[in-house]
Structure formats: C-alpha cells, structure tokens
Structure 1
Amino acid sequence: MYFKHKLMGFFFNICRIFPLKSNKITFITDKNKSFEDNFKYIIKELNKEESDYDYTFFKKDKISLLNFYNLATSKYIFLNDNFFPMAFMNFNRDVKIIQLWHAPGAFKKFGYSILKDESRKELLSEISRKTTYLIVTSHNIIDFYKNAFNINKNKILPLGIPKTDFYSKENLSEKNLNKIRINFEKEHPEIKNKKIILYAPTFRENEKYANIFNFFDVKKFNNQLGKDYALIVRLHPKIREVVSENSNIFKILKSNEVIDCTHYENEQELLLLSDILITDYSSIMIEFSFLKKPSIFFSFDLEDYETKERGFYYNYKKNVPGPIVYDSQELIDTIKSLNFDFDKIGSFANYQFDYFDDMSSKRILDYVLKN
C-alpha cells in the first residue's frame, strides 16, 4: 500500500545527506499546474522585495534526483494542496513547511472531516504533524481547518490567502475593468450591451447530478433572459472523470447557447467580469463575496450532497449569502427580481476574511521568513 508515496519518501531521505540551504524555497506543484495562484503571488512578493531567497519547484509526479535534491535542501516548503508522500519524508527540524491551501474560507467539509479510510487519515495526520504553519483567511474558521487537517490549532495562522492579492486597487480600477470587458468582447461579441452571469457549479462524484444541464434548462434561461444577460460557464476541471463525452454537458458547451470558460486562464478576471454568480457548494462563492457581489445558489441536489457527498461545516440554508433556488424557473425569476441582500453578503464576507487588501503574500512572508 502507498508504494509510490514510500518510494518518493525513500529518494527524499537519501537526498537528506546534502546540507540544508537557509535561503532556498521550494513550491510543490502538480503536472496540471492546478491551484498555483497562491504560489504566483508569493513569488511576485519575493521578486518585489529583491530578496536573497532562491526558489524552485518540486513536481509531484516526477521522480528524479534533482527534484528530490531541491526539496531536501530547501529550508522553506510551500504547498497548495495535500501531498501524501510527505508522510514518509524525514524533514530536518529546521525546515518550515507552509500549507497555503488553494481555496479561501470554509464552507463544505473536506480533508480529515470527510475521510473514511483510516490509513489515509493516518497519513494526513502525519503530514499535519510535520506542517509548520497552515494559513487561513479568517480567525473565525480556524476550528474548521483544525478538523479538516487534524492539526494543532496553534499552527493555524489567519494571514489571508495570497490569491486575493490579485484584487489590488489597480486591478479593481474602472480602467482595468473596462479593459477586461473590451478584451472579452473581442473574443465573444455576443456579450455586447449585456450583463454577465457566471455559472460555476462544484464537482460532484455522483454522475446523475454531475450532469448539471439535465437540471439547468439553458434554453428556457436564454429565452427569458437572453436579451439582457449572457451566460458564461466554468465547470470543474475534473468533470470528465465522472461524466461521459457524449453527455448533455459537452453538447451544450459546444453550442452557442452558453460561453464555455472552463479553460479560461484567469478565473479571477471572470469574477471581475461577472455581475452575478450562480453556484451551489463551490468555494468560488467565498471569493465572489470578497468582491461584495451577489450570488444565487442553484442547489437542485442539496439533500443528496449534504447526506451522501460532502456536507457542510454549518447550516447551508441559513448561511449562504444569497437566495437558494431548486429549479430553472425559480432561478430565472430570482434573476429577474434582482432582490439581493447586500448586508448578508457583507456579513458573510467579513466572517470568511479578516483582510480585504492585496497584502496577504507580504504578511505570510514577513511571518514565515522573519519570525
């Protein structure tokens, strides 16, 4: 069991013979380059300060001596996701391992909170024992992350998430927002003079509910709202793992009924571009609340998701920062009404974030490198 993880641990432990470099930082990445936004802003901050620190990347799926040498000689190691081979790696006690996590805030359960496999729970606990700091966005959610990682509460620091550094005054300026809109209109002239609605559903293990367009009636949506709104869609990158190629989803994505932005490079530009977000249980709602914009929660499978998939850390119906709808007509009527509670959106955002600035990377590096 866990042969590859143990093999990677073995190679790492061999490379421990090389001395630790006090100015070396390694970022652990995967072959898909997913969840790398946090690293981008940490690196940007390092370059801004013109520091003496050198950084390199450890590719999760690459077994090479150079890869393990870089990791074994780094005093600072940043992660954005779980990396189970760490459980079998014997780190120098001077090494600092910083888990940034890829999603802001806390809402749906994850990690140790939902694991049923005892051996994986043991691995995650061992990784958490070796983790120096776990960075979160708010002091309010520390207990949820304590449970999700089975980690000592004293290791959790509410310093913010680096990816929100994107929302600088410059990027939020009217000039930049116009620029993003103009560039998007060049690619998709059909959005001209229309407001934009982003539909970004979460990943579902259940194929029945993963076929979202069996529940979201796009034709009805466009017939009633198409004059004033353009619908852009961003699906979870793992959707093809549970949904077949000939499903309704991919037929609609290839049609002119929606604008497929699943592979649009900058998700945060889409959030700036969008007037309304339609989601369900995705953490994208937390980042959208950072912008104090309205969301609608199209939760056609709420009971199933809550009891058979993830579940939530707190009451879904009471806490989501927007109206909950269960079918397409209810969704359409809610958009027509534009009846959003912006006080509730603000309260939700204030619960999920301690900071609304572009300084998270600086706070993290100041604490980790200078503490």
Structure 2
Amino acid sequence: IRKFTWFKKKVFETMDDEKNDELDLKDKDHDRKNKFINKVYDETNSSEYKTDILIRTRHGLRNISVLNILIKTKLIKEHRIRFNEEFNYYSDVPFVVQLLKYSNSFMHDENAIYVKRKHNDPINTPSLSQIKDPDNRFNEFIKAHNYCVSLVDENSYIRYYLDAKMVSYYIHFFAKKIRRSKNDLWRNERFEIMTTVLKNIRPELLNKSSRFSRKLIEAGINGDIELAKKIVNRHLAKLKFKKILKNKNEMNKYLYRHKYINQPIEENTIMFETFMGKSYADSPKYIYEYLAKNYPNKYKFVWVLNDPKTKLPYGGIKVKRFTRKYAYYLAKSKYFVFNVRQPLWFRKREEQIFLETWHGTPLKRLAFDQEEVTAASPTYKAQFYRQKQEWDYLIAPNKFSSDIFKSCFMYDGNMLETGYPRNDLLLANNRDQIAIELKKKLNIPLDKKTILYAPTWRDDEYYGNGKYKFKLKLDLDLLKQELGDEYVVLLRTHHYIADNLDVTGLEDFAFNLSKYDDIAEVYLISDICITDYSSVFFDFANLKRPMLFYTYDLDKYRDVLRGFYIDMETELPGPLVYTTQEVVERIKNIDALNEEFSNRYEQFYQRFCSWEDGNASKRVVDIVFK
C-alpha cells in the first residue's frame, strides 16, 4: 500500500496535480482501468497472505498499525476487539493480531493511496513513535510481544511472524545496545529478559537464520552475554571494515572518532567553512581577513575549500571537506567559523569554541518555524536541534533576525547582535573604486549599468539532497531587446541550484556569476537587484539601490512551500512583478519607482540595516577571539 507524507492539504493536492499534469489523457484512462484492481481473499487462502501484509512487511512492531485498514463494525463487536490501555507505544499490535485471528476474508487494494500525516516536529510535539523513551519502550515491547503470543495458536502463521519480529529486533537493535550503550541494563537485566523470550521462539527461525544470526541467537538462548558481546563486536568490526573499503571518507571519520579527537587541541588554530567548502566567501571570509590583517602571527588559519585552485590570501591552509586533513582539524582546532551547519558526525569538545555566522536575514520560515514542507522533515529538525546545541555564538545582522533565530533554531546561546561581517564591504569608504576594479576583473562593461538577477531555489523542485532544479523564467532575449543599450544582466543563482544557466548567444549582455565566490562583491557592482524569495535583498538594501521582486509563483511559494516572516505585498522596498514585460517597464521608469518606494525603503533600511556600519567583523572578533 503506497504512502504519502501528509503536509498541508494544499501541498498534497499540488503534488498530485503536478503528477497528473505529466500524464496525457490516454495514460490517465489506462491508469484508471488497470491500476485499481481489488483482490479478494477468502478463508481458504487469506490466512498467510493477510498476515504477510499486515505483520511481516511492516518494519518492527511499532509499524504494525490499524491505519489504512477498514474494519467491519460487526467483527469488532462480535469478538469484543479493543485497544489494550496498558500499552502506550504498541497498542495497535494486539488489536491487529486479533483482527487477523478472527477475520475469515479480506479485500486488498494493491494500489490504494493512503495519506499518512507525520508529526513534523519531533522535539516540541513528537508522535509516540518519535518519543525517546528506551526504558519504557523496551519493557512494553516485550510485554506486547508476550501478550500477542498468548492470543494465538502456537503453530499459526501469526505466531511465526511475531517470533520473526522478535528475532529481528534482537539481531538488528538489541545486539547493538549490547556493544554501544553506556547503560549496563542492556548487558544484564534486559539480556536476561531476552534470554527468556528467545527460548520460546519457533525453532525453524533458528534454522533459517544466517550464520551470524544463528550464533547470536544461540548465545542469547543460553544466556551467555560474554559470547554475545564477542559475536557482536566481531560482526560490527567486519561491517565497519567493509564500509571503510567502499568509502574512504568512512576511514577519515573513524580516525576522527578514535584517534584525532583524543589528541590535544591546537589552541590558536581556527577552521573556516562556507557553504560546505564550495566557496571562499560570506561572513567567515571577512572575519578571516580581519584576523589575518590585525593579528598576522597569532593564529593558524585552516580553510575548507573543495576546489584546490581557489585563491586564499594571507597564507591559510586549504583542506578539502571530509578528507583526512579535514577530520584532523575538525578534531584539533580550537575555533570554528562556519556559515552553515557542521557535519552530523562532528562532536564538539569541551575546550572548542564554535561560531555560527549563518548566511542571511530570514525571509522564508526556517527549521522549527517551518510547518510542513518538503525540506523540513522530522529528521531534519531533530538533526538541527542537536547541531545548534554545539554553537557557542550565533551572529544576528539585525533585531528582526535575532528574534527569529531564537525561535526557529530554538537557540538560547550567545547571540552576537553585531551586524553581518560580510556586509562590511558594502559600507567600505573606497567601495566605488573596489567596484570599478571588480568590473574590470569580471570583464563587465564599464559604460553599462548592471542588473543583478539573484533567484533562490524551490523546496519541491530537486534532483536529490541539496541539489535543486531551476528553470530561468526571466526572458533574457526580451530584456536585451528592450534594455540592452543601457544595461547588462548579472545572473547569480543560489548555491543549492544544480542546473547551469545557458546564456548562449547573449554573452555580451548576460554574465553568469553563479560560480563566483563572493556575492557581496557582486552586490557592489550591481545598480539594480531583481530577486524573488532570496534573502539577498536584506543585504543589498545596505546600498540603498533600487530592487524589484520577480515573484511569478508567489501564491505557491507563500501558501504551499514555505511561508514568510514578513508580508511581501506591503513591507518590501520595491514592487512585486510577475512577467518579464513588467520588469522592463519598471526599469525603464526607475526614477518613478524610486520615488514610489522611497518611504517604504527607508523604513525597511532602518529595520534591517541599521546595525551595519562596516565594523561588524571587528565587533565579532573582539567578543569571540578574546
């Protein structure tokens, strides 16, 4: 039975509509006629099949559920089937077992769509399956198994599969606790309980098990904890070795956990990482350059840069992400300056100091403020919660961001209300001269004005984790035709976007700067900014230059995908436009636009840019690197 995660109803309907749009009418007719075929099983052939569907194919006991089953009221009343209130986590299991025991026939629709709504916040509002309660969960697991076994015949299919579930639990979950848990209960009292249970499993399960599983089960039946530990240790070591052979990064993680992390901290070493090693940019860059200029011999600088050709001034050490050197410095550096989250396998040592700069004033809802979108799964939130607990400092560019970060990250650590170091460049005294030099370096015509188009990614359009699709909606040919005599266009997509923009035939008009490291430098050479839901406009506003918001999919992005922290229709410092022609008309009448939005722009500037004065890097360094 297929399952979909239930986001907002609108999200599900949108996903379903988009899927259907990809089919032509002929395909739809074929789908209706052939896919939804019911299969009916009577008492002569249903016993094993229904048990297979409702128990064997469900992972573990907790996924045995009454969800997606329609049950005749008569069956429930006749056999007085009830949920056992003694069970908190596994109450569905005995209920389903009784259904299987007493039902004579059932109908199975192999292609029915079952919409399941997952609890999206496992930290603040966890579902029963998301609650971390190993003590009570173990006791109830054993109790539920024993109770269900008492309800059925010893030789029934149901009993066989219940025993199979118990064996699977012992092999795949309990055995790891024997090896890894700091709680000795798993090696004494709970192991004794498992011994009692394993002694009563169906013998044929032992015969069908692998050599490793059979030996481990036998050790459990005999109550031999030392032998069980030996078998588990050998097996896990073998698996780890195979994993290391397949992926060299696993060896680096192993060295990090078992060697480097036990070595002394390098007191003056600082590790910098921007966008997972993709660039030398953002606030870490400006903090680094301030430190290098003002404390030239005090610190050892390590930069995470995946491209070895990336130019790094001031003699910093370059390391590629997830390599052995990366693991080494991750374990031994005193300070960390990252603008995104650290690796999940990182374990901050007590002496280490982690500075999280983040990478923008939030427009789109983030982390725990996100309700139900593709990117904010329960796993994502659980991981984010653990990672933010390792942040000693978090930078806020304005009061608005400071308040939002406390909410969306559930952050109660040291908030540095300093402004963004990356915006120091935008307020530099010599910024005009810097802009001219940058234009020369990038071969941008000095006699043309520049229009920056910097769109963001869409949560529901992606190839894989961190790789998002993007199709350019702005008609560059029309822009060139209407504005080419006076302007050129600079294109800059989000670092998550995997698609390359094709500007073939427009090389003298459209310049793709998506791979250019530092977007702050791109702002500096831009006379007008066009964006959508990217946070770039909060930073660009420091320049007090005109902005347009090309929001062709506003309703979907606002109401379905993300949601915003501000009202885009009343609070933005520029107009919302929905077509390329509107973009053209607004730029042709740019003076009128500036006049129309002057008051709103000033209010916006005071709200989001008033902390910026070109000295944020100094303020951060003075606090963190005492």
The one of 399, 413, 420 aligned to 1:139: 399
Matched with 2:605 is 349
In the comparison of the two structures, how many residue pairs are matched?
350
- In the alignment, which residue of structure 2 is the partner of 1:127? 387
Alignment partner for residue 315 of structure 1, among 567, 581, 588? Answer: 567
Larger Rg: 2
> Following TM superposition, by how much is the alpha carbon of 1:366 offset from its aligned partner in structure 2, in angstroms?
0.7
Residue 199 of structure 1: SS of its match in structure 2?
strand
The Cα offsets for residues 277-318 of structure 1, whole Å up to 9 and x where unpaired, read as 111111111111011111000100101111233221121212
Q: Compared with structure 1, are the counterparts of its residues 132 and 307 closer, same or farther at alpha carbon in structure 2 (3 Å cutoff)? A: same
What residue number does 1:272 align with? Answer: 524
Are 2:276 and 2:340, in contact at CA under 8 Å, matched by a contact in 1? Answer: no
Percent identity, please: 27
Which has the bigger relative contact order, CA under 8 A and spacing at least 6? 1
Within 5 Å, which residues of 2 pair with 1:168-317?
168-173=427-432, 175-184=433-442, 187-188=443-444, 191=445, 193-207=447-461, 210-213=470-473, 216-240=474-498, 243=499, 249-250=501-502, 256=508, 258-317=510-569
Cross-structure match for 1:56: 302
CA distance in 1, matches of 2:329, 2:493: 35
Alpha-carbon distance between aligned partners in 2 of 1:30 and 1:202, rounded to the nearest angstrom: 15
Kindly indicate whether the alpha-carbon contact (under 8 Å) linking 2:280 and 2:518 is maintained by their aligned counterparts in 1. no
Tell me the secondary structure at the aligned position of residue 270 of structure 2: strand
CA contact (8 A) 1:28 1:60 kept: no
For 2:503 and 2:276, how far apart are their aligned partners in 1? 28
Q: Of residues 275, 282, 292 in structure 2, which corresponds to 1:37? A: 282
TM-score (norm 1): 0.83
- When residues 116 and 192 of structure 1 are mapped into structure 2, their CA distance, relative to the original with a 3 A threshold, is closer
**Contact 1:292–1:342 under 8 Å retained in 2:** no
Change in Cα spacing, 1:147 to 1:11, as seen in structure 2 (3 Å) is: farther
Amino acid at match of 1:197: I
- Equivalent position of 2:110 in the other structure: none
Distance 2:346 2:516 in 1: 36
For 1:253 and 1:101, how far apart are their aligned partners in 2? 37
Residue type matched to 1:162 in 2? P
CA contact (8 A) 1:9 1:89 kept: no
Question: Relative to structure 1, is the Cα distance of residues 36 and 221 closer, same or farther in structure 2, using a 3 angstrom cutoff?
Answer: closer
Matched residue, 2:424: 165
Residues 116 and 203 (structure 1), Cα distance of their counterparts in 2 relative to 1, 3 Å cut: closer
SS in 2 for 1:121: helix
Letter of the 1:313 partner, please give it: Y
Q: CA deviation at 1:146?
A: 1.9
Question: Please, which moves more after superposition, 54-63 or 76-85?
Answer: 54-63
Letter in 2 for 1:361: S
The root-mean-square deviation of aligned C-alpha atoms, in Å, is 3.0
Instruction: Find the aligned partners of 1:47 and 1:80 in 2 and give their Cα distance.
Output: 19
Runs of 5+ consecutive residues of structure 2 not aligned to the other structure: 1-242, 305-318, 463-468
**2:584 corresponds to:** 332
1:93 corresponds to: 350
Inter-partner Cα distance in structure 2 for 1:264 and 1:57: 17
1:122 to 1:84, Cα distance in 2 relative to 1, 3 A: farther
2: CA distance, partners of 1:333 / 1:316:
20
Q: Do the aligned partners of 2:269 and 2:299 also contact (CA within 8 Å) in 1?
A: yes
C-alpha separation between the residues in 1 aligned to 2:481 and 2:470?
24
Query: SS at the partner of 1:42?
Result: helix
Q: Which residue identity does 2:490 align to in structure 1? A: I
- In the alignment, the residues of structure 1 paired with residue 528 and residue 279 of structure 2 have an alpha-carbon distance, to the nearest angstrom, of 25
Which amino acid in structure 2 is aligned with residue 53 of structure 1? Answer: Y
Q: Aligned to 2:620, which of 344, 351, 364?
A: 364
Contact persistence 2:421–2:616 (CA under 8 A): yes
Deviates more, 1:290-299 or 1:76-85: 76-85
The alignment partner of 2:322 has SS state of: coil
Give 1:124 deviation, angstroms: 1.0
Q: Any idea what SS the aligned residue of 2:431 has?
A: coil
Moved more, 278-287 or 202-211: 202-211
Residues 16 and 72 in structure 1, CA contact (< 8 A), matched pair in contact too: yes
SS in 1 for 2:416: strand
Asked if the contact 1:97/1:133 (under 8 Å) is kept, the reply is yes
